[in-house]
Structure 1
């Protein structure tokens, strides 16, 4: 009897793989998994770079120069620190941009030929945002703004003068975290810089700047 049971067990063990080989196999499909940043990872330092454009800007002045509808491109670097508390993210951000926003005023009756340009600008801002999902932050920002405005006169004299101006900036934006270390942003800001005296120019104007910018960039988070 014992020999019969051992023989039956051996037959069952040999038959199992053979029967399994005859069963139809289910196809295996490859799946693509998009990386998603885990929750609670916005706290920390970051650095990055940005590109953008200025539009509907103007160089304010007190002598009647037509220096509105200025536009141009900008690009530069940014850095900051964020702290996440539940679904809120608060922090401080700074940026510095090379700018090519300019406008020229020509008046044959004056006569005047003046070209103004925003050579660089920067900011130091607070930022407060809300996580609509773990890796998507919507935020508002505002704070101190700096900029260098150059005025170049060609008529009636040939002179150039640059002044560093101080003002404020505010805007809104969004930032999407692709991975734990890489995020992308899209941001709109309005900037207003106070006027300064350009005494080297013939009319000694007081010139300032106000304008709108739209920028996009990438951040690396530590």
Structure 2
């Protein structure tokens, strides 16, 4: 939790900086809203333990995702851009796999998060940025270990998201976006009939989007 607290404090600091009178201005200054879509690779990194035996089924759940985002940013000095952004996403990935110790179904459901963005206005119509923030996600799973009945449940995870991307201004208000993000989530341990299952997920995604500044 300490690193999540650090992320939140860093995001708050960037928002405070962005709210101060700007030393520079760019096309990307101000508030904005938008929508995105992309492709997602979600790996649960599960470890099953049954009767003293262990296995590490590690298959990616892949699928399309889509969501909404909104934020605020400001060019503060020498084309340096700082801001904060919130987002909500939904997933289509759904995968079932198995091994000698059981069967596993992983289905990411939705996620939401906040992040700080730091960037540089390379050209009047091009902003390159990096992001770091807090992400919360919910996963539907169905697991059955050897010797036990199948169990279905939803599990929530918190993690730290890192990303890089670019915004391109089509005109004064409309912009497009492309980015890559990686999220490292917390872990969970479930006692199931016949054994135990530990899940330590991470996620990679590529997204494109379109937004409107106001």
TM-score between the two structures when normalised by the length of structure 2: 0.78
Partner of 2:31: 45
Q: Which runs of 5+ in 2 are unaligned?
A: 1-24, 49-54
Distance in 1, matches of 2:111 and 2:56, equals 22
Distance in 1, matches of 2:106 and 2:132, equals 26
Cα offset, 1:218, TM superposition: 0.6
Distance in 2, matches of 1:137 and 1:201, equals 52
Q: Which has the higher contact order (CA 8 A, sep 6+)?
A: 2
Q: CA RMSD in A?
A: 1.9
- Which secondary structure state, in structure 2, belongs to the residue aligned with residue 41 of structure 1? coil
Computing the radius of gyration over CA atoms, which structure comes out larger, 1 or 2?
1
Is the counterpart of residue 195 in structure 1 residue 187 in structure 2? yes
Partner of 2:130: 140
* Residues 150-169 of structure 1: per-residue CA shift (max 9 Å, x gap): 21135642321111100101
Distance in 2, matches of 1:151 and 1:65, equals 16
Distance in 1, matches of 2:68 and 2:118, equals 20
* Residues 93-118 of structure 1: per-residue CA shift (max 9 Å, x gap): 111100123432223x43x2220121
Is the counterpart of residue 94 in structure 1 residue 79 in structure 2? no
Distance in 2, matches of 1:118 and 1:201, equals 23
Partner of 2:60: 69
59-68 or 118-127: bigger deviation: 59-68
Partner of 1:128: 118
Distance in 1, matches of 2:93 and 2:194, equals 23
Partner of 1:169: 161
Distance in 1, matches of 2:67 and 2:149, equals 34
How many matched pairs? 181
Q: Which runs of 5+ in 1 are unaligned?
A: 1-38
Distance in 2, matches of 1:40 and 1:169, equals 26
Contact 1:67–1:104 at 8 Å: present in 2 too?
Answer: no
Higher strand proportion, which one? 2
Distance in 2, matches of 1:199 and 1:151, equals 14
Cα offset, 1:201, TM superposition: 5.9
Cα offset, 1:202, TM superposition: 4.7
